[in-house]
Amino acid sequence: MQLQAFPPLIAVVGPTAVGKTALAIELARQLAGEIVNADSRQIYREMDIGTAKPTPEEQRAVPHHLLDIVTPAAPFSLAVYSELAMGAVDAITQRGHVPLLVGGTGQYVAAIVEGWSIPRVAPQPEVRARLEAEAVQVGAASLHARLRELDPPAAAKIEPNNTRRIIRALEVYEITGRPISEQQAKQPPPYNITTLWLTLNRQKLYQRIDARVDAMVAAGLVDEVRGLLAGGYGWELPAMSSLGYKEFRPYFENRASLGECIERLKFNTHAFVRKQDMWFRRLPNRVQLPVDQPQLLARALAALEPKGRRDG
């Protein structure tokens, strides 16, 4: 009964193109809610079409938070996102409204609903460059072996060939003198959390993705990429190397036709949604909602009726 006293926090998750935005807006209207973005690309200004950002009309329908908060060149981390998102959730609750965490970046959602404690260690270019050079010289497995000596719990969770994560763990240890595993405790926030996991048959989802990509191109996606490049945003930036943008690099470098790049974007998005599911399956208190069954909104509202916490 005590858990029921916690205020609600609703996470609306699901693969790309499944319909998260539309359902979240309807739920927000029904529940006096406000939406907190949980898409790692929609934080960027000037990147609207390729990120499938809610339209101006959708943003006017209900309050949205954490959209367009940094330029594509600005550094941004999971730790920063977690602080901003949790601040937005708390502020919405204090206003007497219902926070809805909406997006397809599973790591962002998990960090909030599972209450990750994330080390606030800014990237150290010199340390990273040295470790990256070492990885090239002796191999990632050698760095992984070092991490296994310094931080066995972290090493156990990181694949020996995942150079980026190995270097990050070694970087945190070098800067703080403490294993990253000791700094990653989890304490769920004081909310009654329900995760609405939208799903769709894979082939139907692929059809939606392909139609969305075609619509993005028709809406001016290629010109959006061209404008970003003209604005000085290079391909080396994390924002420009993300899905929906990196696929057009060969076109702008005269190494592939536009049609080939569009097909590559569709293929890469198909692969991406398969990875998204791995995150959604682990989220707590989740209710799976197939979007192709009738009365999606009614089923979503029914899932939010007080029934105690679910364990997934």
- Is the model's pLDDT at 40 over the cut of 50? yes
Classify 3-117+186-303 by CATH class: alpha beta
pLDDT at residue 120, as a whole number: 67
Q: Mind listing the pLDDT tens digit for each residue in 169-197?
A: 999 898 888 888 877 678 889 999 999 99
| The pLDDT value given to residue 178 | 85
Instruction: Assess whether pLDDT exceeds 70 at residue 312.
Output: no
pLDDT surpasses 80 at 224: yes
pLDDT for 43-99, tens place per residue?
A: 999 999 999 999 999 999 999 999 999 999 998 988 899 999 999 999 999 999 999
What was the pLDDT predicted at 181? 81
Average pLDDT score over residue span 283-310: 88
The domain locations on the chain are 3-117+186-303, 125-183
pLDDT at position 1 over 70:
no
- Residue range 125-183 forms a domain whose CATH class is mainly alpha
Whether the CB-CB separation of 228 and 240 falls below 8 Å is answered with yes
